[in-house]
Chains A and B, each alone.
Chain A
Amino acid sequence: DARVTQTPRHKVTEMGQEVTMRCQPILGHNTVFWYRQTMMQGLELLAYFRNRAPLDDSGMPKDRFSAEMPDATLATLKIQPSEPRDSAVYFCASDDFRGAGELFFGEGSRLTVL
């Protein structure tokens, strides 16, 4: 059963702390996305990679967020320092670049920054 795996599922932290979220895309998928979902803004694209190369991170606050893909089986999203306004559900999604936008989402990492 191929699926996108995200860790941690839940994270509560204090303002100023570093947060790292991890994603294992579906084996064979060469495109990985990071989305953030809030009630106010809905789903927002933060960044995406193809063949491990970052293609677009224009949706990401550059001063505190960073996204990397150290290898084909791992994508990371880091927030340093975290702020209360970062509280959201962060989703990772992957696909095999067939062009139709058929993304497979993980179950998300629910972040609360106090």
Chain B
Amino acid sequence: QKEVEQDPGPLSVPEGAIVSLNCTYSNSAFQYFMWYRQYSRKGPELLMYTYSSGNKEDGRFTAQVDKSSKYISLFIRDSQPSDSATYLCAMNNDYKLSFGAGTTVTVRA
């Protein structure tokens, strides 16, 4: 079993919909929880990160961490075609990141 589990999708939604992504993990030592976005044929770029449990909001993006359930989520409100990408969750332990498999999202215009 992998340390970080993420449903690869794909996920297809109409423009304006709320996109909900999530990951589960098994290592209780993880402290930082991140979401990276990767466009086709590009490198991942950091979208948001959260330390420990709680919520964090940045514009249309909201990240949630529930350490008691070992579950993290990313919500994208008012999704746009430009949000079409693969979203990877990541968590660190001793400075080494463990990545989820990535969920591919398509926002239809």
Question: What residues of chain A have their CB less than 8 Å away from a CB belonging to chain B?
Answer: 4, 31, 42-43, 45, 48, 56, 91, 93, 97, 99-108
Contacts and interface: CB of A to CB of B under 8 A. Distances in A.
Contact residues of B: prevailing secondary structure: strand
- B interface residue count range (under 10 / 10 to 19 / 20 to 34 / 35 or more): 20 to 34
B88 interface: yes
A12 to B, nearest CB: 16
Given A101-B32, A102-B49, A105-B45, A43 B88 contact: yes
B99 A42 contact: yes
B34 A101 contact: yes
B43 interface: yes
Given A43-B88, A100-B32, A105 B43 contact: yes
A6 B95 CA distance: 23
Nearest to A50: B95
A10 to B, nearest CB: 10
Nearest to B99: A43
A36 B45 CA distance: 15
Given A42-B101, A105-B43, 17 more contacts: A4-B43, A31-B95, A42-B100, A43-B44, A43-B99, A45-B96, A45-B97, A48-B96, A56-B96, A93-B43, A100-B34, A100-B51, A100-B92, A101-B91, A102-B49, A104-B46, A107-B43
B65 interface: no
Given A42-B101, A42-B102, A107-B43, A99 B96 contact: no
Given A42-B102, A106-B43, A99 B95 contact: yes
B60 interface: no
A50 B6 CA distance: 29
A43 B101 CA distance: 7
